[in-house]
């Protein structure tokens, strides 16, 4: 039994659902999950589908070719197809904060995350012992004004060598280069410590304190060229009051950051996220 | 253009999705919404589907017959099919509390609810002026030990006469009879003022206060013979503290009750709820 | 038995708590509630205190004078003192949306709100029937470009005549004039339909939809000259998804708006809010 | 400068607040925090107070004696007084689940927790490597039917030897003995993986799944002789749907458990919790 996951978007058009489901059936596939969404503002159809094939001769590569030449061309589909059992490879970029790191690695260890972590990369050495204790390779790639380009090359090299599918910035305190963003479009997940679009940029907890908000938040989003403006995957919030100092906000925020980031990682790793026009569709 | 909404459940089996979608396509239907769920514990398949038919000769009655004799029999489906534009008719049962009533009627007035309210029924006269101000017929059906049976007959008569599709108990303070429950299975929505299954029965806020909980809740569910044990449609919660008196809990609870009940009404009226084995499947 | 509520702020200084509590004791007052907050960034001390006086000869006016000449001068206090049993008078300004209005009047009717509503004012006639059904005087004060000044005069006159303590803008769709703001500083409560400071200004739900946020909010704040930038009293949020249209956001937002605004009204009416440097301290 | 934290409860009575604040002032103490609560059902007064003493000759032991012989006797106070800078000592009891452990140790490492962890104790060896990586002594105290008494003796010995102030059961899967509970009353914090009082006992996620609830929760409480019935410190909840399997509920629940337990630990360690009649008062 082999299982595929298929993600599609295209202009909305009649019979698109029936055509795709019929195609699967006529190729001896049994659909076990289907969900769809139509963006009526933009007239775009989105679909996520899981299909099982019992035949021992089934080949995902052949099936991809078949799909491409028939349905995908006919309906002008944008699509991605995955072998469902293949775990995506995630690179973790970190700096000095450890709360997201512990949270992710704790889940990874317990089998909660459907992914592999070939390596952790940091511009500092501080958290190497944590990587070591979890027995995950750690690469120290310092970033200074003068070594910026060199660091980026080193990053690209490591990502390629380990066939990384997506990158998670777990409170990585450096701006990621445009080259990296272009190479991993909608594949670099960041956690921003505010309820975006409020408090874009540095020191959001300080700004939240100053504004006297009664709720703070955290936002996980894909990195784009514009700072903190990429497609939002997940957001979380918690109540605060006048009695909370900036330090308190930071501590409460850490709890949000780690939960929100881990949720976003799970959604991405399980291929439940589609991006269109700087917004996400999140399937159940 | 005519649109139908179809709700299905059956034993899970191969090709069920493809068969249904093909059936729609082969009858010139264009599926505009599809969602499904498989309960893997019980091996039950659930589906909700919306399909548009452009033909001017389309008749939902004929299509129902066709569906029944082909797919429904073949796959042993339990199913319901609705003309999407037909608003369900809801009867409101109330007593003396007015917060849910105001909330529902305010939404009704503003066009937020896809339903009709042919009448409001109460065992007290207190809230008649509210019904009057919203220009909705009000029937006073008092319930005492000796008039219980008579009251039930009156209720059944009104429900039938107005072709009521479902009943909402908006803090109606009488036990609904088994006869009514049998006649409207999974069609009588109640709001219970606790986070079920905690604090079943009378005076849940008093019990919550006594136990010292830090969160209180409200639960909307379908009425079954067993008290407060029916299928849960929606739940809401809010934080409380030691500083809240019972009176405070009751006031905070009112906010939960009205939002949770109105959400449940919307889900039911939009045919997004399926019930199986005392649990609900809620479609998006 | 007479009870007072005292609100104080001043520069933080030693013995301030002991001095105030001793003062109350030495005047035969029994403190039944005390809460305090120190803003360590700005070195400001805030206190809220409730004190009972059993003596039949107690006069709040005399006690105010005594307090002013002794403690208030010594510690350079900013302070307000209320007879606890005196209900504040609230004017309701509305336009065409009725959800906040129904929510407030429903609570008012049920005795949940510690306040009086001498009148409702609107720039439109649409909601007059609701005011009528609750038997609250309704004044129609239309606002056009040419009648702006005249309308403002009419508003001021009504507010003065009815000895209004604070104003609530329950989705009032006009800019309130600087004159009114100056006359009622931190006494005009607005509900903004976004999670401030995100989406300041008009059409926040449209902006939220466009940005693709996963959580929407509502904010109740005191009006200041700068648009949507006044001290925040209360905020609420709710989760949304890609499947929600702008219309859905508006409907979900209405639930937030009414709950958040009513909570802010309760806090203000119960004298639990202090404002300093464009931020609020909210006592329990 | 020395600082004390004082927790008091007693029968509510006139002048109690003024008397205590005057006592502090007359002993050259400067009150920097005061909060109080009156339980009007039971007529009990609760207070938490922080007071600074500038004198170099201040001794908390002498002050305790003074307080005991004057105020405490006069008002029949139940009270506890702490040197504010003294960190409480917490023992961690664990079994095989690691999510709460990682969460607590991550916070401990980052300085978020005001406490010391002299040792971790487990009835299994599985998580010893985690204790080791955080460099915290680990004691393996297996519990079987026949070694139950012996294990308890070992536990008591370790607790005494390390002068433990309170115990945290971080998903410790053994029943704690009555002897331990008696020795550490309201000092043993448990995390139960349900929204108490719903789903008392074993396998709450299975019960929640079966009942079809739309919200699951976690509860941190002090252990008492009756199972899952002790005073509740903190509760958290999260939304779930029909699409979540039991395994999903367990994973989502882990996030609740760790946050709720860590919050309860912080409240206890910061001496913000008082217990009376099986309920908690939580100070801000």
Backbone φ and ψ for A173, nearest 5 degrees, come out as: -95, 30
- Choose among C212, C231, C233: nearest Cβ to A280: C212
Instruction: Locate the chain B residue with the closest alpha carbon to D221.
Output: B213
Backbone φ and ψ for A105, nearest 5 degrees, come out as: -70, -35
Interfacial B residues in 203-222 facing C (CB < 8 Å): none
Measured torsion, CA atoms of residues C26, C27, C33, C38, in degrees rounded to the nearest 10 = -60
Determine whether the interchain pair A251/D112 forms a contact, defined as Cβ–Cβ distance below 8 Å. yes
Instruction: Locate the chain C residue with the closest alpha carbon to A209.
Output: C279
ipTM: 0.95
What 3-state class would DSSP assign to D126? Answer: coil
Conformational region of residue B214, where left means phi above 0, alpha means psi within -120 to 50, and beta covers everything else: alpha
Q: Hey, is the C-beta of A282 within 8 angstroms of any chain B C-beta? A: no
Q: What is the pLDDT of residue B265?
A: 98
Q: Is residue D94 domain-shared with residue D79, that is, in the same domain?
A: no
Q: Please say which residue of A30, A65, A83 terminates a domain.
A: A83
User: In Å, how far are A140, A184, B114, C96, D279 from A95, measured between CA atoms?
Assistant: 10, 20, 52, 52, 43
> Which stretches within B110-147 are classed as H helix?
128-133
Distance (Å, whole) CA A102 – CA D127 = 15
Averaged pLDDT, B194-213: 95
- Spell out which residues of chain A touch residue D103, defining contact as CB-CB under 8 Å: 102-103, 106
CB D191 within 8 A of CB D257: yes
| Chain D nearest CA to C211, separation (Å) | 24
Q: Is residue B172 domain-shared with residue B154, that is, in the same domain?
A: yes
| Chain C nearest CA to A103, separation (Å) | 22
Averaged pLDDT, B35-53: 95
User: In Å, how far are A153, A213, A246, D57, D284 from A205, measured between CA atoms?
Assistant: 33, 10, 6, 41, 20
| Residue C174 CA neighbour count, 13 Å, CB half | 24
Q: Please say which residue of D83, D118, D151 terminates a domain.
A: D83
Q: What is the pLDDT of residues C68-93, one digit of tens each?
A: 999 999 999 999 999 999 999 999 99
Q: Is residue A118 domain-shared with residue A229, that is, in the same domain?
A: yes
Q: Is the pLDDT of residue B140 over 90?
A: yes
What 3-state class would DSSP assign to B217? Answer: strand
Identify whether C197 is preceded by a cis peptide bond (ω within 30 of 0).
yes
Q: Give the total residue count for chain D.
A: 284
Q: Is residue B105 domain-shared with residue B187, that is, in the same domain?
A: yes
| Low-confidence residues in chain C, pLDDT < 50 | none
| Residue A176 CA neighbour count, 13 Å, CB half | 31
CB D206 within 8 A of CB D250: no
Distance (Å, whole) CA C226 – CA A211 = 13
What 3-state class would DSSP assign to B96? Answer: coil
Backbone φ and ψ for B187, nearest 5 degrees, come out as: -130, 10
Helices D204-211 and D246-269 meet at what angle, rounded to 10? 130
The domain tally of chain D equals 2
CB A5 within 8 A of CB A48: yes
The CATH number that applies at residue D119 is 3.40.50.170
C126 is known as an active-site residue: no
Structure token digits, residue B136: 């909705």
Q: Hey, is the C-beta of A165 within 8 angstroms of any chain D C-beta? A: no
Distance (Å, whole) CA B10 – CA B42 = 11
Distance (Å, whole) CA B167 – CA B118 = 11
Question: CB pairs below 8 Å between A and B: how many?
Answer: 49
Distance (Å, whole) CA D237 – CA D260 = 9
CB B29 within 8 A of CB B62: no
Instruction: Locate the chain B residue with the closest alpha carbon to A48.
Output: B35
Distance (Å, whole) CA A139 – CA A122 = 6
Q: Hey, is the C-beta of C106 within 8 angstroms of any chain B C-beta? A: yes
Q: What percent of chain B has pLDDT over 90?
A: 96
| Chain B nearest CA to A92, separation (Å) | 34
Backbone φ and ψ for C129, nearest 5 degrees, come out as: -60, -35
Structure token digits, residue B215: 């969160």
Q: Is residue D211 domain-shared with residue D263, that is, in the same domain?
A: yes
Structure token digits, residue D257: 């458990």
Tokens 């050495």 belong to residue: A125
Determine whether the interchain pair A280/C235 forms a contact, defined as Cβ–Cβ distance below 8 Å. no
- Spell out which residues of chain D touch residue C33, defining contact as CB-CB under 8 Å: 36, 38
User: In Å, how far are D97, D98, D271 from D139, measured between CA atoms?
Assistant: 16, 16, 27
Q: What is the pLDDT of residue D156?
A: 97
Chains that touch C (3 or more CB pairs under 8 A): A, B, D
Residues contacting D24, CB < 8 A, separation 6+: C18, D30, D31, D49, D51
| Chain D nearest CA to A179, separation (Å) | 34
Q: Is residue A96 domain-shared with residue A75, that is, in the same domain?
A: no
Measured torsion, CA atoms of residues C165, C170, C171, C177, in degrees rounded to the nearest 10 = -10
Q: Is residue C109 domain-shared with residue C35, that is, in the same domain?
A: no
pTM check: above 0.90:
yes
Distance (Å, whole) CA B127 – CA B119 = 13
Q: Is residue C213 domain-shared with residue C76, that is, in the same domain?
A: no
Q: What is the pLDDT of residues D242-279, one digit of tens each?
A: 999 999 999 999 999 999 999 999 999 999 999 999 99
Q: Is residue C73 domain-shared with residue C116, that is, in the same domain?
A: no
Averaged pLDDT, B110-124: 96
Distance (Å, whole) CA B183 – CA B45 = 26
| Low-confidence residues in chain A, pLDDT < 50 | none
- Choose among D17, D19, D25: nearest Cβ to C34: D17
Distance (Å, whole) CA C80 – CA C92 = 24
- Choose among A99, A109, A243: nearest Cβ to D106: A99
Question: CB pairs below 8 Å between A and D: how many?
Answer: 37
Tokens 């037909």 belong to residue: B86
Q: Which of B28, B39, B228, B255 is catalytic?
A: B228
For an interface test with A, give the residue of B12, B21, B43, B47 to mutate (most A CBs within 10 A): B21
For an interface test with C, give the residue of B100, B111, B112, B252 to mutate (most C CBs within 10 A): B112
What 3-state class would DSSP assign to D234? Answer: strand
- Spell out which residues of chain A touch residue B33, defining contact as CB-CB under 8 Å: 36, 38
Angle at B54 between CA B34 and CA A78, to 5 degrees: 45
Q: What is the pLDDT of residue A110?
A: 87
How do beta strands A166-169 and A188-192 pair?
parallel
Q: Hey, is the C-beta of C35 within 8 angstroms of any chain D C-beta? A: yes
Backbone φ and ψ for A114, nearest 5 degrees, come out as: -85, 75
Residue B87: pLDDT band (50, 70, 90) is very high
User: In Å, how far are A83, A105, A257, D157, D256 from A238, measured between CA atoms?
Assistant: 38, 24, 11, 41, 13
Backbone φ and ψ for D66, nearest 5 degrees, come out as: -60, -45
State the residue range of the domain holding C34: 2-83
- Spell out which residues of chain B touch residue C133, defining contact as CB-CB under 8 Å: 129, 133
Determine whether the interchain pair D215/B195 forms a contact, defined as Cβ–Cβ distance below 8 Å. yes
Q: Is residue A44 domain-shared with residue A100, that is, in the same domain?
A: no
C220 closest CA partner among C254, C191, C180: C191
Distance (Å, whole) CA C169 – CA C227 = 14
Q: Is residue A47 domain-shared with residue A132, that is, in the same domain?
A: no
Determine whether the interchain pair C25/D18 forms a contact, defined as Cβ–Cβ distance below 8 Å. yes
- Spell out which residues of chain A touch residue B30, defining contact as CB-CB under 8 Å: 14-15, 18
- Choose among B110, B129, B284: nearest Cβ to C99: B110
Residue B168: pLDDT band (50, 70, 90) is very high
- Choose among D99, D110, D284: nearest Cβ to A99: D110
Q: Is residue D154 domain-shared with residue D224, that is, in the same domain?
A: yes
Chains that touch D (3 or more CB pairs under 8 A): A, B, C
Determine whether the interchain pair C129/B133 forms a contact, defined as Cβ–Cβ distance below 8 Å. yes
Determine whether the interchain pair B18/A34 forms a contact, defined as Cβ–Cβ distance below 8 Å. no
- Spell out which residues of chain B touch residue D242, defining contact as CB-CB under 8 Å: 37, 39, 279-282
Residues contacting B17, CB < 8 A, separation 6+: A21, A31, A34, B36, B47
Distance (Å, whole) CA D7 – CA D27 = 18
Instruction: Locate the chain A residue with the closest alpha carbon to C242.
Output: A281
Q: Please say which residue of A31, A64, A83 terminates a domain.
A: A83
Distance (Å, whole) CA C81 – CA C67 = 10
Q: Hey, is the C-beta of C15 within 8 angstroms of any chain D C-beta? A: yes
Q: What is the pLDDT of residue D234?
A: 98
Bridge partner list, D78? D9
- Spell out which residues of chain D touch residue B214, defining contact as CB-CB under 8 Å: 232-235, 282
Measured torsion, CA atoms of residues D144, D150, D151, D153, in degrees rounded to the nearest 10 = 160
| Chain A nearest CA to C253, separation (Å) | 16
Interfacial A residues in 251-280 facing D (CB < 8 Å): 251, 254-255, 259, 262
Three-state SS sequence of chain C: CEEEEEEEEEECCCCHHHHHHHHHHHCCEEEEEEEEEEECCCCEEEEEEEEEECCCCCCHHHHHHHHHHHHHHHCCCEEEEEECCCCCEEEEEECCCCHHHHHHHHHHHCCCCCCEEEEEEECCCCCHHHHHHCCCCEEECCCCCCCHHHHHHHHHHHHHHCCCCEEEECCCCCCCCHHHHHHCCCCEEEEECCCCCCCCCCCHHHHHHHHCCCEEEEEEEECCCCCCCCCEEEEEEEECCCCCCHHHHHHHHHHHHHHHHHHHHHHHHCCCEEEECCEEEECC
**Residues of D identified as active-site:** 228
- Choose among A18, A239, A284: nearest Cβ to B22: A18
Q: What is the pLDDT of residue C3?
A: 97
User: In Å, how far are A261, A278, D186, D265 from D258, measured between CA atoms?
Assistant: 16, 33, 20, 11
Determine whether the interchain pair A103/D106 forms a contact, defined as Cβ–Cβ distance below 8 Å. yes
Local mean pLDDT, 10-residue blocks, chain D (284 residues): 96 92 94 94 96 94 96 96 97 97 94 97 97 96 92 97 98 94 98 96 95 98 96 97 96 96 98 98 95
- Spell out which residues of chain D touch residue A254, defining contact as CB-CB under 8 Å: 112
């Amino acid at each position: 039994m082999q299982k595929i996951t298929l993600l599609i978007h295209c202009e909305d058009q009649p019979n698109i659902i029936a055509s795709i489901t019929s195609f699967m059936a006529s190729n001896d596939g049994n659909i076990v999950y289907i969900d769809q969404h139509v963006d009526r503002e933009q007239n775009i159809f989105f679909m996520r589908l899981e299909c099982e094939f019992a035949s021992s001769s089934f080949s995902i590569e052949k099936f991809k070719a078949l799909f491409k030449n028939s349905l995908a061309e006919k309906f002008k589909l944008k699509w991605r197809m995955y072998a469902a059992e293949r775990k995506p490879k995630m690179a973790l970029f970190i700096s000095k904060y450890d709360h997201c790191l512990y949270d992710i690695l704790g889940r990874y260890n317990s089998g909660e995350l459907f992914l592999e972590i070939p390596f952790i990369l940091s511009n500092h050495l501080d958290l190497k012992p944590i990587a070591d204790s979890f027995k995950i390779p750690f690469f120290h790639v310092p970033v200074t004004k003068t070594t910026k380009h060199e660091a980026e090359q080193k990053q690209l090299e490591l990502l390629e060598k380990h066939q990384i599918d997506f990158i998670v910035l777990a409170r990585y305190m450096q701006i990621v280069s445009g080259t990296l963003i272009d190479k991993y479009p909608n594949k670099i997940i960041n956690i921003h410590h505010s309820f975006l679009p409020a408090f874009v940029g540095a020191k959001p907890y300080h700004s939240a304190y100053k504004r006297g908000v009664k709720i703070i938040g955290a936002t996980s989003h894909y990195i784009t060229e514009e700072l903190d403006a990429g497609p939002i995957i997940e957001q979380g919030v918690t109540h605060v009051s006048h009695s909370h100092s900036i330090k308190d906000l930071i501590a409460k925020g850490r709890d949000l950051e780690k939960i929100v980031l881990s949720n976003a990682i799970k959604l991405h790793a399980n291929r439940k996220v589609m991006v269109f026009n700087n917004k996400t569709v999140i399937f159940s």
